[in-house]
Structure 1
Amino acid sequence: MLSWVSRCCSSSFRRFPDISDTDDEGSSSSSNADPLVWRRGLDKHSSGEFSFAVVQANRVIEDYSQVEIGSNAFFVGVYDGHGGPDASQYVSNNLFQNLISRAQDDGNISEETIRSAFAATEDGFMTVVRRGFEIKPMIAGVGSCVLVGVIWKGSLYVANLGDSRAIIGYTTGSSNKINVEQLTSDHNASREEIRRELIAAHPNDPRIIVNRGTWRVKDKIQISRSIGDAFLKRPEFRLDSSYPRFYVPEPITRPVLSAEPSVSSRVLQPTDKFLIFASDGLWENLTNEEAAEIVHRNPRNGIARKLVKASVKEAIKKRGIEYKDLVKIGGGGRREYHDDITVIVVFLDNERVAAQELSYRGGFAEPTGPSNFRDIQELM
């Protein structure tokens, strides 16, 4: 297990293929080529199509993600890591399999099945932290936001920890105007609702939230829910002052952060047109409505990459540089301008289509193998 932790922390963007960055997915321009962008322009799932794109900003990318296609089911996962890639990679490797295992036990996928899969994933990563803490204490400071979408038997389930976000675009009546609904709530201390929630849960802790220009939990982190971040959950993983990034003067006597996801479900309707799942790097620069309009008004092929590029362009506009100059900057240097960004756009075509049961992971040009949805084929 410790060798796995070591491999996680030494991983870099080399797992991403150098794919030409194009404006229309049909032609490439070397002057606009971005070696830190990965994409799949358009692929089929069991009830429509999806587009997938990732751009790196950090020296070691901390966003992991996946798409799992079943014969009559679909899974999307966006895992925005912080403090390193260990937690987000662990979630990518284990959450979906935990969901499949729970579905086999329950004979179905439900909100409770999804909650159980999140709990098992948190417990599993805490075991990784426990085994590695003595050799690599900073593993206690690694965590991940988690955003999951599951389409199962005509219903959509969405679960999240942290501030990645999912929205749905839909029409009403005969109008072609796209309407937008946010499907998740951001677990971020910048929101007054979250600050009230933290204060109510920790009434005797005057430093539960601190504002030094940005609201932070215990003056360390903006999000209030995550997988990992053991130093803010369990006293045995407290880090001392030699690790200032993760040092909290007051001992943690009870968990400050939660791994309990917000979960919701809805029956999909013929008027539901598409879903956007993305890490907060997208939403820092685009509103829900702006992102939905880009999807609504442009061709499907390559639309996830178009959203990534629109967000990055908006971010660098404030810094006075052009996109052609940004693409010359390597991983690590890019973090000054934008975050790692993952975007998955899911089109809902209200009809079943033939789609192979495949597993896709962000950063790989081809499917990584068959999806484990096949293990619950008899439940579909």
Structure 2
Amino acid sequence: MDADRGGLENRAVSGALELQTEAFPAPVDAHGGDPEALGALRDEMRWGEVSEDDKNETPDVASSGPIWHHASSIKGMRRSMEDRFDVLAPAIDESTLSFFAVFDGHAGGECADFLSKMLIDACSNDTESLLEDPEAFLKSRFLDLDDRFCDYAASTDHHDGSTAVLAVVEREPTTSTPMNLWVANTGDSRALVVRKSGTVKELSREHSPQDEEERMRIEDEGGFVKYVVNPFSAAGDGTLRVNGVLAMTRAFGNYSMKPFVTAEPDVARRKIRKDDAYICLASDGLNETVTDEEIGQYLLQFGAHKGAEKLSTLALERGSTDNITVLAAQLNPSLF
């Protein structure tokens, strides 16, 4: 059964959508295509989450309703907000699958905007094929969308790009018990599972020029990895960059960097355990200053809502220089 696109209570949609939507077929969405609603700030678009009055409360029984989740997304010290997120978390009688995604744009926000409107739609419109071969299906969807955006970007000379990290949670249809988790990631946004014991398991792989396999892949394609000194660093610090330009080896967009910078994701599967408490997706603005262990501690202590808010604030207070997005979803409500 395909995931239902209805109900505002089941859908969190990222804001600041300035992409020329006529360039792409518009997905069916919860706003009926209202551009004013689509352009609202993401912090005002958290349907399916706890209300302000109840934000400190956590349900103590597993529900057949949407998976409990919350996203906190702040601009931080950057001039513009290029992070985006999206959620499709239907009730169990509508679909056994829930989708959570975070996107971190660079050199502009158009690619992240496009992904926030299109990726979950593309992955949720054929759940039968998704469950037959999750890895092949997700890779195909990622690459197809990258081709579509790059065609648009080449015709309009837009050179921006974006990371993507997508989590798909499968629940047992009669009991709502979480069974399987798949994570597909392109770039350096991250996915973590937090266990009740405090153990944190990373399910994403950072696509960095420091990775020897990635460097060899780029060189095999005819590209190169070069150390570039930061001209604003008094100490002469720098970073490895693909063709001397991009500090990550995989991303959507960046059409002039193809094929060296691919959108092909790594896909990981985890059989959800009884003590798996949370899945957390985050842009690298969080991980600049906050450790995996701290992410686990905050979510276990404060829950998805307050934990996500406190983590994004903590990263900012510690001097994170990037946009910061934290999306947390509860995997086993019976633990709490």
The TM-score normalised by the length of structure 1 is 0.64
Question: Which residue in 2 is equivalent to 1:52?
Answer: 71
Contact 1:75 1:151 survives alignment (8 Å): yes
Question: Which residue in 2 is equivalent to 1:372?
Answer: none
| Aligned partner (choices 249, 252, 260) of residue 227 of structure 1 | 252
Q: Which blocks of at least 5 consecutive residues in structure 2 are unaligned?
A: 1-17, 24-35, 45-50, 172-178, 230-237
- For 1:263 and 1:155, the matched residues in 2 are separated by 13
* Aligned residue type for 1:147: V
Distance change (3 Å), C-alpha of 1:265 and 1:18: closer
Contact 1:210 1:218 survives alignment (8 Å): no
Instruction: Say yes or no: does 1:166 pair with 2:182.
Output: no
Question: Which residue in 1 is equivalent to 2:20?
Answer: 4
- For 1:45 and 1:283, the matched residues in 2 are separated by 33
Contact 2:130 2:138 survives alignment (8 Å): no
- For 2:166 and 2:119, the matched residues in 1 are separated by 9
Distance change (3 Å), C-alpha of 1:179 and 1:63: same
How far off is 1:294 after superposition? Answer: 1.3
Question: Which residue in 1 is equivalent to 2:122?
Answer: 98
Kindly, what percent of the aligned residue pairs are identical? Answer: 24
How far off is 1:46 after superposition? Answer: 4.5
How far off is 1:274 after superposition? Answer: 0.9
Q: Which blocks of at least 5 consecutive residues in structure 1 are unaligned?
A: 20-24, 28-38, 172-176, 234-254, 316-336, 352-380
Query: Where do residues 168-183 of structure 1 align in structure 2 (5 Å cutoff)?
Result: 168-171=193-196, 177-183=197-203
Instruction: Say yes or no: does 1:130 pair with 2:154.
Output: yes
Question: Which residue in 1 is equivalent to 2:101?
Answer: 77
Question: Which residue in 2 is equivalent to 1:289?
Answer: 293
- For 2:135 and 2:43, the matched residues in 1 are separated by 38
Distance change (3 Å), C-alpha of 1:45 and 1:280: farther
The TM-score normalised by the length of structure 2 is 0.72
| Aligned partner (choices 218, 225, 248) of residue 208 of structure 1 | 225
Distance change (3 Å), C-alpha of 1:146 and 1:45: farther
Q: Bigger relative contact order, structure 1 or 2, given CA contacts below 8 A and separation 6+? A: 1
Instruction: Say yes or no: does 1:312 pair with 2:316.
Output: yes
Contact 1:199 1:208 survives alignment (8 Å): no
Deviation track 1:336-360 (CA, whole Å, cap 9, x = no partner) reads x621111111111266xxxxxxxxx
* Aligned residue type for 1:264: A
- For 2:223 and 2:304, the matched residues in 1 are separated by 49
Contact 2:223 2:243 survives alignment (8 Å): no
Deviation track 1:247-299 (CA, whole Å, cap 9, x = no partner) reads xxxxxxxx211111000111111111111100000001111111111112224
How far off is 1:210 after superposition? Answer: 2.3
Question: Which residue in 2 is equivalent to 1:368?
Answer: none
Question: Which residue in 1 is equivalent to 2:329?
Answer: 346
What is the count of residue pairs matched by the alignment? Answer: 275
- For 1:76 and 1:155, the matched residues in 2 are separated by 14
| Aligned partner (choices 157, 165, 183) of residue 182 of structure 2 | 157
Query: Where do residues 321-360 of structure 1 align in structure 2 (5 Å cutoff)?
Result: 338-349=321-332
- Which stretch of the first structure deviates more once superposed, 301-310 or 94-103? 94-103
Question: Which residue in 2 is equivalent to 1:198?
Answer: 215
Contact 1:122 1:228 survives alignment (8 Å): yes
| Aligned partner (choices 265, 269, 278) of residue 273 of structure 2 | 269
- For 1:120 and 1:89, the matched residues in 2 are separated by 16
Q: Secondary structure at the match of 2:264?
A: coil
Q: Secondary structure at the match of 1:202?
A: helix
Contact 2:279 2:329 survives alignment (8 Å): yes
Kindly report the root-mean-square deviation, in angstroms, between the aligned alpha carbons of the 2 structures.
3.3
Distance change (3 Å), C-alpha of 1:276 and 1:41: farther
Deviation track 1:289-343 (CA, whole Å, cap 9, x = no partner) reads 111111122244422111101111111xxxxxxxxxxxxxxxxxxxxx6211111
